[in-house]
Amino acid sequence: MFINGVYYDFEKPIYILEQKINELRKLQEEEKVDFSVEIKTLEERLNTLINEVFSNLTAWQKVQIARHPKRPYTLDFLNLIFKDFIELHGDRRYGDDKAIIAGMAKLNEQTFFIVGHQKGRDTKENIERNFGMANPEGYRKAARIFKLAEKFNKPIITFIDTAGAYPGIEAEEHGQAEAIASNLFLMSILKVPIIVCVIGEGGSGGALAIGVGDKILMFENAVYSVISPEGCAAILWKDAGQAPIAAEQLKPTADALFSFNIIDKIVKEPLGGAHRNYEEAAANLKEAILSAYNEIKDLPVDKLLDLRYKKFRRMGVFKIIENQKK
């Protein structure tokens, strides 16, 4: 169901058909006339249409779905998957960046330390959360939580959902690049299991700063890339309007990244996207998290770190085939 009429152009036929179904249901209730046969026929057509649209999404359309304003965010998954969440604030250096959520929570009686990007639902909250784009203090808060997890020997789960680290002058003055680089180094040597979940938009170093882990899970309509399609298009063609072309070339989708061994598992979304059914999306992610954790929880620390090191060293490896013709 589309909430408040929020939909993209390629979703419009679905939205129109849903509106017709809702109108028939309302008329049936008000006029006490039985439209059950008509409603059933339209629902069957709706399911067929959703299948057709969402089984043939382009890379750019998946970028749009990943950015959907009604898509579930980190706090939604914390409420649906975990219990007894205790939020921890501040980096103990400068301040508390609300673009990063951090704390402890339980999943099946196992305590996890949680870190994730958090976007806002409206203008006021987006300003407060800085649209999910963290400042250096956000990444330093994350680092503090990572160190606490290691101190108490508890596993870590991160949720990636950001267009990128905040690129403002103040962020640069506070050491944005250093904060991200420090997190990359820290996460590479943490002696506890780390599970990374790409739940929406994973953009640039702002995503990677909490993205080094033993298992990387990714929703099927999420995206994960070194740069946004708009940024790439602006650099290559001086035209952000070429973003759909850039999206195809960047290969930011889950199926492409899985084929490149960048991610470990594609998490199935509800038909039509995670924004259409939070509970089903959360249940699928919970199952994937538990499965990933069971694979790594009993590994000796040396083995865990060695596999993590090799995992990331393999990324970006390529072969140069010389021309055999002379």
Average per-residue pLDDT for the chain: 92
Residue 286 has pLDDT above 90, yes or no: yes
pTM of the model: 0.88
> Which runs of E-coded beta strand occur in 204-300?
215-219, 223-225, 265-267
Encoding tokens for residue 317? 């490896």
Q: What is the pLDDT of residues 163-202, one digit of tens each?
A: 999 999 999 999 999 999 999 999 999 999 999 999 999 9
Residue 1 has pLDDT above 70, yes or no: no
Q: Alpha carbon 61 to chain centroid distance?
A: 15
Residue 6 has pLDDT above 50, yes or no: yes
Strand-pairing partners, residue 87, are 103
Q: How far from 317 is each of 196, 256, 312, CA to CA, in Å?
A: 22, 16, 10
Residue 5 has pLDDT above 70, yes or no: no
Q: What is the pLDDT of residues 20-46, one digit of tens each?
A: 888 888 888 887 778 788 888 888 888
* Alpha-carbon span 126 to 134, nearest angstrom: 12
Give the residue with greater pLDDT, 42 vs 117: 117
Q: What is the pLDDT of residues 246-285, one digit of tens each?
A: 999 999 999 999 999 999 999 999 988 899 899 999 999 9
Strand-pairing partners, residue 157, are 114, 195
Q: What is the pLDDT of residues 73-99, one digit of tens each?
A: 999 999 999 999 999 999 999 999 999
Residue 325 has pLDDT above 80, yes or no: no
Please provide the DSSP assignment of 94-156 as one string: S---TTEEEEEEEETTEEEEEEEE---SSHHHHHHHGGG---HHHHHHHHHHHHHHHHTT--E
Question: According to the model, what pLDDT value does residue 324 have?
Answer: 58
Residue 288 has pLDDT above 50, yes or no: yes
Encoding tokens for residue 319? 């072969």
Q: 4 falls in which pLDDT band (50, 70, 90)?
A: very low
C-alpha gyration radius of the chain: 21
Report the pLDDT averaged over residues 49-66: 88
Q: What is the pLDDT of residues 150-171, one digit of tens each?
A: 999 999 999 999 999 999 999 9
